[in-house]
Amino acid sequence: MIIYIFGLPIYVGSFTDPTQVIKELDFCKNNKKIDTSDYGVFEELGGTLEEDEGILFDLRKYTEYTPYTNSEIENHTQFFLKELNIQSLDLTNNICRHINCGGHTCADYWFNELSKGDHTLAHCHLSDPDDEMFCQPGESMFSFNYFAKYDNNTHAGFYFVNPSPIHTLYEMIDDIVPAFKRSIKLEINEGQIVIFPSSLLHYVERHQVDDKRITLSGNLYKVVDGKQ
């Protein structure tokens, strides 16, 4: 399903068996030395990002142990393109931008655990504007967030930030004209995935309950010419 937020197409879809994702994530988290000869230990990217930004776990060395998750990401990427009627674009989760790169360390995704009091600051998935990679072909085109453990009623919400300049002048009417809002909460449920432009700023409000909030995030890249 395609919805439009601030005029941009946002895809929302559901995984067929959400319990499989949790099983695969738990396996990766609890087996940090699956094969030290080839893949090394399981990476925690910096452990705790900041004191209150949760814990980020890199999954790129574990893709052969997450077959269900991999297939669902690929399936929903195709559903997304089909719904937008885009036939001239191939997307991959691999940073190398080749669909069949033959490696196990290339898939660009991770999962994030938020505990009570944690939040995620507003950010996008592009390089810094001063970086030479900014908006170049190697950047991701789209990003995704899968809600593995999420209660829409009690867990911290996921918000998209308005890409247009907003002045306080509009605050008195943004309930009437949502396009004027500074940010909009995504209405989504556990077991669903959202795919959105990588340039779109987003954040997670502060988590206020004791049970953990778990999401799977990643990026999608334009496949380079001459697929391998």
Residue 86 has pLDDT above 50, yes or no: yes
Ranges of beta strands (E only) in the chain are 2-5, 8-14, 44-48, 55-58, 91-92, 109-114, 120-123, 142-149, 158-161, 183-185, 192-197, 202-204, 213-222
Taking each helix axis from N to C end, the angle separating 18-30 and 67-83, rounded to the nearest 10 degrees, works out to 130
Render pLDDT for 95-146 as a digit per residue (tens, 0 to 9).
888 887 765 567 889 989 999 999 999 999 988 777 777 777 788 999 999 9
Question: Predicted confidence band at 45 (pLDDT cuts at 50, 70, 90)?
Answer: very low
Cβ pair 203, 121 in contact under 8 A: yes
Domain ranges in the chain are 14-154
- Give residue 226's pLDDT: 52
Residue 202 has pLDDT above 70, yes or no: yes
- Give residue 42's pLDDT: 37
- pTM, two decimals, is 0.88
More confident: 45 or 159: 159
| Nearest-angstrom CA–CA distance, 97 and 102 | 12
Sequence-distant (≥ 6) Cβ neighbours of residue 121 within 8 angstroms: 53, 203
Residue 8 has pLDDT above 90, yes or no: yes
